[in-house]
Structure 1
Amino acid sequence: MAYQFKLPDIGEGIAEGEIVKWFVQPGDTINEDDTLLEVQNDKSVEEIPSPVTGTVKNVLVPVSYTHLSSHRNSEK
């Protein structure tokens, strides 16, 4: 069954961020806790780890996209 990644709450009341970089592409294998993407908000750039181990099927949200936490970002 595919896992749909949703941007987690990155804390400190920050509700949105801009995707700066994806560290994966469709077809890549990723392990739990490997860096999945970087998100920039008004205070910092945060590395977001993968919550699961698996193969990336799609990256649905492009770099430079600003979004709210828990928005669907990729499918694994």
Structure 2
Amino acid sequence: MTVFNLPDVGEGLTEADIASWKVKVGDSVEVNQVFVEIETAKSLVELPCPFAGVVTELHAAEGDTVLVDNPLITIDEEGNAAPPTGVPEVAEALSTAAPQASEEPGPLVGSGPTADSSVRRVRTSRPAPSATGQRSAAV
């Protein structure tokens, strides 16, 4: 079981409100899948899941305030979580699910290297004359 704590989503914010859950207990999640929307003092943010597996516990309800570094969600990375009772379709789907490929997932969305190098725009004006008053020979 892996517990994912609320990360610091920017500029020293200490808490966030749960705006809406995109998953529920018993759901399968994949790496980079958005699993919750949180609202901070500055913006509404969608958090991607850093783990793949089955959701076993949501540590807060919609509308609750969660402090940074406090538990947000628990995920069983093995996929062995007990399905919610009274939902036989989920139990059957979990028991017949194909095993996950063992290849390593890529970086989390927004945390990897940039795809393209930055491009500078072309200069449209001439450089200012030097301090000695001489102009450049290439006019």
TM range, smaller chain: over 0.9
Percentage of identical aligned residues: 31
Unaligned runs of 5+ in 2: 76-139
Deviation of residue 69 (structure 1)?
A: 0.9
Q: C-alpha offsets along residues 4-29 of structure 1, whole Å, 9 cap, x if unaligned?
A: 11111101111111000011101100
TM-score scaled by length of structure 1 = 0.93
Q: Distance in 2 between matches of 1:67 and 1:57?
A: 18
Aligned pairs, number: 75
Q: C-alpha offsets along residues 16-43 of structure 1, whole Å, 9 cap, x if unaligned?
A: 1100001110110000110010110111
Q: C-alpha offsets along residues 34-57 of structure 1, whole Å, 9 cap, x if unaligned?
A: 001011011100001101111001
* Pair member with larger Rg: 2
2:20 alignment partner AA: K
Q: Which residue of 2 aligns with 1:64?
A: 63
Q: What RMSD over aligned residues (CA atoms) do the two structures have, in Å?
A: 0.8
Q: Which residue of 2 aligns with 1:7?
A: 6
Larger strand proportion of the pair: 1
Give the secondary structure class of the aligned counterpart of 2:9.
coil
Q: Distance in 2 between matches of 1:22 and 1:42?
A: 19
1:27 alignment partner AA: G
Q: Distance in 1 between matches of 2:28 and 2:44?
A: 24
Q: Which residue of 2 aligns with 1:40?
A: 39
Q: Distance in 2 between matches of 1:47 and 1:54?
A: 19
Q: Distance in 1 between matches of 2:5 and 2:50?
A: 10
- The answer on whether the counterparts of 2:33 and 2:48 sit within 8 Å (CA) in structure 1 is yes
Larger helix proportion of the pair: 2
Unaligned runs of 5+ in 1: none
Q: Distance in 1 between matches of 2:16 and 2:56?
A: 23
TM-score scaled by length of structure 2 = 0.52
Q: Distance in 2 between matches of 1:58 and 1:16?
A: 20
